[in-house]
């Protein structure tokens, strides 16, 4: 069985392969690689990473034959092994989640944080979230920062850190 560092290096190789395959920069390729590893058949994949993306790097859907689930993914990528997740990662989770929970502030959020061409994606996502048909996901290949992780415990956002990714790769 490979050790953690070997699995991390394997992950970086897969991200570089995804980068070559898609033409995305490494950070976006990391998110796209994660989708392919974690979801058997992600659909309607739209990479939105950039300024005024509202903290979403990738929008996508999954279908189980009868239900469509909308997903958003925010990712933080590093080439440095065993680096601790930055504080900003956890701050973005809280900022992003509040836009979903506080229905009255959604239009303000869209006007301030989201460029016009992404707003229809967000509106569909807000509607799906209100129907319990959306998943908010944040992934990083950094180690969990226990000092700041506590701030987001209990927030209905799925979090994946280095150890979660290593565990998935080791299966």
pLDDT in tens, 35-67: 999 998 999 998 886 777 778 889 999 998 899
With 0-12 / 13-18 / 19 or more C-beta atoms within 10 angstroms meaning exposed / middle / buried, residue 132 is exposed
Q: Is the dihedral of CA 26, 116, 44, 127 positive or negative?
A: positive
> What percentage of the chain carries pLDDT values higher than 70?
98
Taking residue 153's Cβ as centre, other Cβ atoms within 10 Å add up to: 7
> What is the model's pLDDT at position 126?
95
**Is there a contact between 109 and 50 (Cβ–Cβ < 8 Å)?**
no
CA separation for the pair 7, 166 (Å, rounded): 6
Integer Cα distance of 56 and 105 in angstroms: 17
105 pLDDT above the threshold of 80: yes
Residue range 14-24: average pLDDT? Answer: 96
What residues form DSSP beta bridges with 84? 143
pTM of the model: 0.90
What pLDDT shows up at residue 38?
92
Q: How far apart are the first and last CA of the chain?
A: 10
Q: For the residues 118-136, what does the mean pLDDT come to?
A: 94
pLDDT at 96 over 70: yes
Q: Give the pLDDT mean for 163-169.
A: 93
Q: What is the pLDDT of residue 107?
A: 93
Residue 3, Cβ neighbours under 10 Å: how many?
10
Q: Which of 68, 64, 59, 66 is nearest to 137 (CA)?
A: 59
Region 96-115 average pLDDT: 91
Give me the pLDDT at residue 49, please: 64
User: What is the side-by-side order of every strand in the sheet holding 134-140?
Assistant: 43-47, 58-63, 68-76, 134-140, 158-160
Calculate the alpha carbon distances from 29 to 35, 77, 93, 113 in Å: 10, 9, 20, 23
E-strand stretches of 64-164? 68-76, 134-140, 158-160
Q: What is the mean pLDDT of the chain?
A: 92
């Amino acid at each position: 069985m490979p050790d953690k560092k070997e699995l991390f290096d394997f992950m970086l190789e897969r991200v570089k392969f995804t980068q070559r395959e898609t033409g995305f920069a490494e950070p976006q390729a990391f998110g796209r690689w994660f989708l392919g590893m974690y979801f058997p058949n992600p659909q309607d994949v739209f990479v939105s990473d950039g300024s005024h993306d509202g903290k979403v790097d990738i929008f996508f859907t999954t279908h189980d034959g009868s239900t469509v689930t909308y997903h958003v993914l925010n990712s933080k990528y590093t080439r440095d092994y065993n680096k601790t997740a930055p504080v900003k990662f956890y701050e973005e989770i809280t900022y992003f989640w509040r836009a979903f929970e506080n229905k009255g502030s959604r239009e303000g959020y869209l006007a301030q944080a989201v460029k016009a061409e992404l707003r229809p994606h967000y509106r569909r996502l807000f509607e799906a979230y209100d129907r319990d048909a959306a998943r908010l996901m944040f992934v990083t290949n950094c180690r969990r920062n226990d000092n700041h992780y506590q701030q987001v415990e209990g927030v209905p956002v799925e979090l994946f850190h280095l150890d979660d990714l290593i565990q998935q790769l080791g299966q």
